[in-house]
């Protein structure tokens, strides 16, 4: 069965890059262009196996999304991988403290993102 990944990212170019790369690796990919839609999608029937979250997004930022997902009974156990241009130590610490299991700073190497996802899903 294909692993499902939800991408929460407002940059459509990055969504397309991630989606194409992940689908090539055999993942089923859904995406939301803002934090609010991502939260709604994560709560639907097909709960994702992993969520990739950007920090700077409209309607709800990635930190808020990460915290809401972490504190929700249905989504709390889903691994959350932050993928953002916000790479300060403070941002990384904040993301990890809100429940993210990994933090990737843009620009990223798609191959490394796929490796990180596979590593998270195996553990």
Q: Where are the alpha helices (DSSP H) in the chain?
A: 12-24, 35-43, 62-70, 89-97, 110-122
Q: What is the pLDDT along the chain (123 residues), one digit of tens a residue?
A: 899 999 999 999 999 999 999 999 999 999 999 999 999 999 987 889 999 999 999 999 999 999 999 999 999 999 999 999 988 999 999 999 999 999 999 999 999 999 999 999 998
Beta bridge partners of 30: 6
3-class secondary-structure state, position 98: coil
Q: Are strands 50-53 and 28-32 parallel, antiparallel or unpaired?
A: unpaired
> 4-122 adopts what CATH topology?
Rossmann fold (3.40.50)
In this prediction the pTM is 0.95
């Amino acid at each position: 069965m294909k692993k499902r990944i939800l991408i929460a990212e407002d940059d459509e170019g990055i969504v397309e890059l991630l989606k194409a790369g992940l689908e090539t690796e055999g993942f089923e990919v859904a995406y939301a262009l803002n934090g609010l839609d991502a939260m709604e999608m994560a709560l639907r029937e097909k709960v994702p196996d992993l969520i990739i979250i950007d920090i700077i997004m409209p309607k709800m930022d990635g930190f808020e999304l990460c915290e809401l997902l972490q504190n929700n009974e249905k989504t709390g156990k889903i691994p959350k991988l932050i993928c953002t241009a916000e790479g300060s130590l403070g941002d990384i610490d904040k993301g990890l403290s809100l429940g993210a299991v990994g933090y990737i700073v843009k620009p990223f190497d798609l191959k490394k993102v796929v490796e990180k996802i596979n590593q998270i899903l195996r553990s």
